[in-house]
Amino acid sequence: MPQVLGEVSGVEAVRARFSSLQSGFAFLDAPGGTQVPDEVGEAIALALREASANLGAVYATSLRVKEILERAESQAARFLGCETQEVIFGPNMTTLNFALSRTAGREFQPGDEILVSSLDHDAGVAPWLELAHDKQLVVHQIELADDTTLDLSDLERKLGPRTRVVAFAWASNAVGTVVDAKRACELAHRAGAIAWIDAVHYAAHQAIDVREIDADVLLCSSYKFCGPHLGIAYGRASLLESWRPYKARPAPTTPLGRRFETGTLPFEQLAGLCATFEYLDSIGGFAQITPYERSLGQRFVEGISSAMKIYGLPGMQGRVPTFLVNVEGVPAARVAQLLAEQDIGVWAHDSWYALGLYKRLGYDQDAVRIGFIHYNTSDEVDRLLAVLESTRR
């Protein structure tokens, strides 16, 4: 049985599996990528030693590669709540999104419309803008409420007979706001549009079930949940069957998802992905992770000084434990530097690649992003709060 994360012994047992966490440095930068347990790196190294081959041969290393790929597809399907044939791998979410949006858009006509969210990371927007440029499509932004929640009424108003895709981020990588994905998918389908979800940030914090929300396409990246740099996509089988892939002609076209994978996959990374899913299972999965992370976020919200501004939602309701903050009178870059000098890792940036969001938030240049993940501790939250307060002095 996994240790209970909310208990000190539980989180310490988890942290013992990460060499990178043994120095005492507090990694509070999870939105930019998580630390990786040793077993994931060991799985990657083992695959390079014992499974350096390609698919299709009859000798041992090729058969090991086949086993790694099939296991990765099966485990990814379980993680996403879909069928194995609906899983697609790529080097990262951005590359996958450019490839799949280009594939989906083969049959789009000039004047067809794409809706994107003002909350999105640009990896969920730029592919549609580029496709629109090439095919004379129209891209509209779904607006936000003042608290950074997605305005579903605006989405409903902007849907029309020419809407082909509704693309949105399930959770903001900048301010942590979560979108009602099930409702957004329902509205998209009512207009006959594809529901296309960037779940990169959401996938690190809460369980995904693509059937439950009725998604058509969903993408995420395992480096956000303690895995290797690797893009993972789900595509509804009936939709994938209707698309003509960009593909080298002799390459295999079955199972279905592999039609949309270009070139040789990074099999060693897939071995690391398998180890990542096994690690998450071993600590109790999101049934343990989500409430524990929310407790860290709540501790931060309750402890932060009134001299510090949290952008977006004020509490933990409707968000994951990612916060964009500024300290009154202290530039964000200076805050990040002072935290680093006290062995606390956060980032300062302007847009956070959310180009439709950051100018609405009201800060002049940069803001500090803080993101908790399940290997963080309450002591690290308290250290952060103390050092943030000291930066004012």
| % of the chain residues with pLDDT over 90 | 92
Do 248 and 331 share a domain, yes or no? Answer: no
Residue 12, in any domain of the structure: yes
Do 132 and 193 share a domain, yes or no? Answer: yes
Nearest to 234 by CA among 366, 87, 18, 112: 87
Going by pLDDT thresholds of 50, 70 and 90, the confidence category of residue 1 is very low
Q: How far apart are CA 67 and CA 361, in angstroms?
A: 48
Q: Check: CB of residue 99 under 8 Å from CB of residue 90.
A: yes
Do 197 and 324 share a domain, yes or no? Answer: no
Do 233 and 297 share a domain, yes or no? Answer: no
Note the pLDDT tens digit of each residue in 179-214. 999 999 999 999 999 999 999 999 999 999 999 999
* Mean pLDDT, residues 249-277 taken together: 92
Do 242 and 106 share a domain, yes or no? Answer: yes
Nearest to 246 by CA among 352, 105, 388, 71: 105
Residue 1, in any domain of the structure: no
Do 248 and 336 share a domain, yes or no? Answer: no
pLDDT, residue 147, reads: 94
Going by pLDDT thresholds of 50, 70 and 90, the confidence category of residue 254 is confident
* Mean pLDDT, residues 60-87 taken together: 97
Q: Which of 211, 245, 280 is the last residue of a domain?
A: 280
Q: Tell me the pLDDT of the chain averaged across its residues.
A: 95
Do 302 and 289 share a domain, yes or no? Answer: yes
pLDDT, residue 3, reads: 57
Do 118 and 190 share a domain, yes or no? Answer: yes
Query: Is residue 4 predicted with pLDDT exceeding 80?
Result: no
Give the count of domains, the chain.
Answer: 2
Q: What is the CATH number of the domain that holds 319?
A: 3.90.1150.10
Beta bridge partners of 310: 325
Max intra-chain CA distance, the chain: 67
The domain containing residue 153 runs over which residues? 42-280
Residue 211, in any domain of the structure: yes
* Mean pLDDT, residues 361-374 taken together: 94
Do 125 and 271 share a domain, yes or no? Answer: yes
Q: Which of 280, 300, 326 is the last residue of a domain?
A: 280
Q: What is the CATH number of the domain that holds 138?
A: 3.40.640.10
Going by pLDDT thresholds of 50, 70 and 90, the confidence category of residue 9 is confident
